[in-house]
Structure 1
Amino acid sequence: MADIVTPVVEALTAPDLAGVVDLVAHPDPHGAPGEAVIVAHATGRVRLTLDADGTERHEVLAGRDPVADTDPLAFLPYDLEQIDPSPANATNAYPEPARRLLGFFSDPDRSPDLAIVHTPGHYFPEYGGHRGEHGSLDVIQSRAPFILSGAGVPRRGVVDGYAHVVDVTPTLLRAAGVDERFHADAAGEPLDGRARTDLLEAGAGRYVIGILWDGGHCSDLLHLAAQGTLPNVARLIEHGTALRGGAVAEFPSVTLCNHTSALTGVGPGRHGVLGNVFYDRAQRRRILANDETTWHRSAEWFRPSVATVFEMLTRADPDATSACVDEAIDRGATASTMQLIRAAGGNDGGGALDAALPPAEDSPYLGNRAHLADSYYRFCSRVDDIGVLQMQQHWASAAVAPRLTWWSNIVTDAGHHAGGPRSAIARDSLMDADRRLGALFDHLDALGVTEDVTFLMTADHGFETADPRVRGDWKGRLDDVSARLGVGFRDEGPGLVYLDV
């Protein structure tokens, strides 16, 4: 592919595309498979490798290193992010680029030949883009919250440090008292993530609840909690520890890739969900994984070695029960929302349960009815409201409560897509989610079990705000080079480019 990839990369990193193309990454065509990845920008190229001990090596091939700053704590304290909310490449940071990209390109059938990364400011509504965007390798779009609270967690408040989204599964298992020998995939191989033993005593609580706020912007969430705007997140932090640098998402920093990484403990090159949409060369088909009609089929996209946190739990303790609310990655859970959708049959997926969702206008958690004009916000509000009811049903009493419960919320994704981080609608979505979290706390308090629960709160990615003045795309450039070389291509996502298919 060397004779094909090189001219494509050169075309995509031309200076006139620098406003919309931040990076182009691809495996080194001259190296052994999995040995190195090349990252290019209009101003330079670098070859990234990974030592056996995890040390990243950067070999500059031309110009300057476009991912030279790899600091996971970049743009902290939060004032620094607000000063430069959509930084240019020269001032941006890209945590662990070698590890994340080498993992991303390791699936022989599903990994693309190259990945195009949007600039933080790129606005592309004609291709499904929004005012708030994610998917990048950069630090802000890759930064999800990571908060541990409750039983077995030291009360340290907000501290410097960071985790990884793949750390979620082993940390949940540690909280549930699962021995580390069961922290492994279906083939018995160790997970990519690690349990945060420094933040959590093993098995200290009777119950474990994991909470994911889709697209919950880490720094703004911590900022609003400190201000008192998110009192229930503040309650979690008061009774535990929050990492200021959050959790580094896998690349691409998109929904289903990172939901899967969080709940399997391995990266996309191992679990096989390369994005919300990707191509499978062996099956010769496009896989649209993150869609209302396909969410409930997530297990169909997994590679054979994948095990979910629910499967690892019951492998260690066959009597342990689990519940999975409003989450696609549910395989192995004792009870789940997606089981109900699958049982309903039909081709609508989540649409089959539309009649069961409560009216958005009647939501007791909705702060601003004007946001319901956004159809995605309206849908997410309905889903999250019924999620509260499901949580209360799973926790009808302490006697029937699951050992492990996972609860996803999605209105935060809707709010951040609609306006970008720090916008009124994004912050209102966080407050709506916080009120739902408060309803869970009220229910647990009434049962008298709150002190027996270990909580883990996270997200799947961060967000940055696109600039409506930064328009354009790379489609014409891909078309031109494809015609010149006589090579077909697929651009899925967009940004995942499969050549000669």
Structure 2
Amino acid sequence: MSRLHPAELIARREDAVKALSQPDLAAAVDLVVWVEQGTDGPVALAANHLGRVRLHADGRHEVLEGQDPVPSEDPMAFLPYELECANPGPARSVDNAYPYAAARILSLFADPTRSPDLAIVHTPRHWFPDEGGHHGEHGSLDVIQSRAPLVMSGVGVRRLGLVDDHARLVDVGPTLAALAGVPPEQLHDAHGEPLDGGVLTAYLEGEQPREPVVVGMLWDGGHCGELLAMAEAGELPGVARLIDAGLALRGGAVAQFPSITLTNHTSILTGLGPGRHGVLGNVFYDRETGERVVPNDASTWHRSGEWLRPAVRTVFEMVSEVVPPRDTPRTACVDEPIERGADYSTMAVIRASGSGNGAAGLGELLPDPHGSGHVHDRAHLDDGYYSWATQVDDVGLQQMTQLFADRRAAPRFTWWSNVVTDAGHHAGGPRSEIARASLRDADARLRAFLAHLDTLGMTDDVTFVLTADHGFEAADEAVTGSWRQALDDLGFPYRDEGPGFVYLMAEEGPDHS
């Protein structure tokens, strides 16, 4: 694949940044971000119609033009939750917050062949259904789309209730591994390099059980503020039960950028940012292979391990290294694509089925969603994604009860992914009736699983971690616009994947890499 000469890349990128930073694109373009080589290594930059800033890893902001378009990196912005509800989706970046901006941008651009040359961040309210957008959106660098819930409960977790603090999603994997018995010296990648995340020791009891049972749960797209507010109001009794036996962080856990599904599923289950684990987005381009990669699709989920970089170790692999083999699974992974190393996984079952179209080809084997006992409003089943998610999540619950058939069979570490919450939030945006119903549906399945553990008499012996892969903001149908014409007018070839990942392409000719 031919590559631009570095000087030509810099010049073309500058032209693109200027074109994308024009005021007439402000409704669609929140920020343009990229990385340049500084004297001491890579440096992150951000720009929009208001100005341009160089973001240093130590937190310094060096304003280069106009005003700083990223003046706040506060991970606790818009709290208490009433502040978010009063000002949803700020119209200007200077009224928003972008936690860990430099570190997250630098990670996105660290992959040698898959990282884009620049990334465009949609405004929180951007409505772009013609290019894959929904009423509820995520993917941004901003705090609300990046804020996933984080609830920890049970054995080895301090009982603190609601805590005014935050974590990062890359911290969740190392914490799960530590809870499952992986010693600190083994929390590293395959090359022995430290993980990007760390163990959340401040929330753990000093004494951990010798034979732990750890259950991690992901409610895809679960909105942090709404989840906690509904739990406090008694509308999510399963979540409330977990918080009563542990804690929840009001600031949640900050997602990696982009704040989208497969990027953050992978970050959670590896403790690495995207520039190291290789899953740059739900769709990205690999210059080395010339392949457009779309891992976040029912037809490709079962292949997600193929796109992990060689140095990656999953939590399943870490745990399996310290737990001797046995006749029941040491580790299990339910309805989760990032499952490499798990003794039992739904994706392995799909691969073994011979379905050439992955989970998308197994629809006839899923249960009738109208027969589900966990749907709070059956009218929502008219939404195709919600209906399919209901089927998948019901099968997920079945797998969980089978894996925990008795106390002896319980895996050391189990990961359980749920998708109906993503369906509900995409369909209506946060705080909509369908989004709230999706949280109630997920909570009903959680309560069913807890009731199953209760009958086994082992609930008090389990450690639970509940999180998500990102947050959500609502799009506004009046806030439209596209940057495609601005890029087309530049007159040089490019790819815009996502949309938002811009790869500046060379004309056919010699390789300038």
**2:200 equivalent to 1:185:** no
- How do 1:403-442 residues align onto structure 2 when only pairs under 5 Å count? 403-442=412-451
* Aligned pairs (5 A) from 1:290-439: 290-319=296-325, 321-439=330-448
Tell me how far apart the structure 2 counterparts of residues 229 and 358 of structure 1 sit (CA, whole Å). Answer: 26
Q: Secondary structure at the match of 1:141?
A: helix
Alignment of 1:38 onto 2:45: yes
2:109 aligned residue: 105
Equivalent residue of 1:198, what SS? helix
C-alpha spacing 1:34/1:275, structure 2 compared with 1 (3 Å): farther
Matched, 1:48 2:52: no
- Are the aligned partners of 1:341 and 1:352 in contact in 2 as well (CA < 8 Å)? no
Residue 127 (structure 1) aligned to one of 124, 131, 138: 131
Please state if 1:20 is matched with 2:28. yes
Q: TM-score, normalised by structure 1?
A: 0.97
* Whole-Å separation in 1 of the counterparts to 2:231 and 2:41: 42
Distance 1:34 1:397, change over 3 A: farther
Q: Is the 8 A contact 2:141 2:258 kept in 1?
A: yes
Q: Quick check: 417-426 or 343-352, which moved more?
A: 343-352
1:65-104 counterparts in 2 under 5 A? 65-88=68-91, 89-104=93-108
Structure 1 gaps, min length 5: none
The whole-number CA distance in structure 1 between the counterparts of 2:98 and 2:212 is 38
Rounded Cα–Cα distance in structure 1 between residues aligned with 2:40 and 2:347: 37
Aligned equivalents of 1:316, 1:275: Cα separation in 2 = 31
Matching of residue 444 in structure 1 with residue 449 in structure 2: no
- Count, aligned residues: 492
1:119 counterpart letter in structure 2: T
Whole-Å separation in 2 of the counterparts to 1:259 and 1:151: 24
Output the CA distance in 1 between the equivalents of 2:496 and 2:390. 32
Q: Is the partner of 1:215 in helix, strand or coil?
A: coil
The answer to whether structure 1 residue 493 and structure 2 residue 491 are counterparts is no
Higher mean alpha-carbon deviation, 319-328 vs 60-69, is at 319-328
Q: Which residue of 2 aligns with 1:151?
A: 155
- Asked if 1:11 corresponds to 2:15, the answer is no
- Is 1:255 the counterpart of 2:264? The answer is no
1:265 pairs with 271, 296, 307, which one? Answer: 271
On the 8 A contact 2:181/2:319 being kept in 1, the answer is: no
Query: Is the Cα contact below 8 Å between 1:34 and 1:105 reproduced in 2?
Result: no
Paired residue secondary structure (1:25): strand
Name the residue aligned to 2:6.
none
TM-score, normalising length from structure 2? 0.94
Percent identity between matched residues is: 58
Residues 156-209 of structure 1: per-residue CA shift (max 9 Å, x gap): 110111111011111111111210111111112111111111111363363000
Gaps of 5+ in 2: 1-8, 507-513
Q: Contact 1:182–1:316 (CA<8 Å) still a contact in 2?
A: no
Q: Deviations over 1:264-283 (max 9, x none)?
A: 00000000000000000011
Q: Give the residue type in structure 1 aligned to 2:109.
A: F
**Equivalent residue of 1:498, what SS?**
strand
Of 67, 72, 78 in structure 2, the residue corresponding to residue 64 of structure 1 is: 67
* Maintained 8 Å contact 2:179/2:212: no
CA offsets per residue over residues 118-164 of structure 1, 9 Å max, x none? 00000000001000000000000000011110011111110111111
RMSD: 1.1
Cα pair 1:176 1:203 within 8 Å, conserved: no
Q: Is the 8 A contact 1:178 1:203 kept in 2?
A: no
CA contact (8 A) 1:133 1:420 kept: yes
Query: Structure 2 matches for 1:198-209, cutoff 5 A?
Result: 198-201=202-205, 203-204=208-209, 206-209=212-215
1:212–1:457 Cα contact (<8 Å) kept: yes
Q: Distance in 2 between matches of 1:218 and 1:32?
A: 39
Pairwise CA distance, 1:314: 1.1
Cα distance between partner residues in 2 of 1:372 and 1:386: 16
Give the CA deviation at 1:41. Answer: 1.1
Alignment of 1:225-264 (within 5 A): 225-264=231-270
Work out the CA distance in 1 between the residues paired with 2:189 and 2:85: 40
- Give the Cα–Cα distance (whole angstroms) in 2 for the partners of residues 188 and 278 of structure 1: 27
- Alignment check: 8 A CA contact 2:72 2:98 kept: yes
Q: Describe the SS at the equivalent of 2:293.
A: strand
Return the alpha-carbon distance in structure 1 between the equivalents of residues 20 and 360 of structure 2: 39
Q: Give the residue type in structure 2 aligned to 1:451.
A: D
In the alignment, is the contact (CA less than 8 A) between 1:132 and 1:420 conserved in 2?
A: yes
Question: In 2, distance between residues paired with 1:440 and 1:499?
Answer: 49
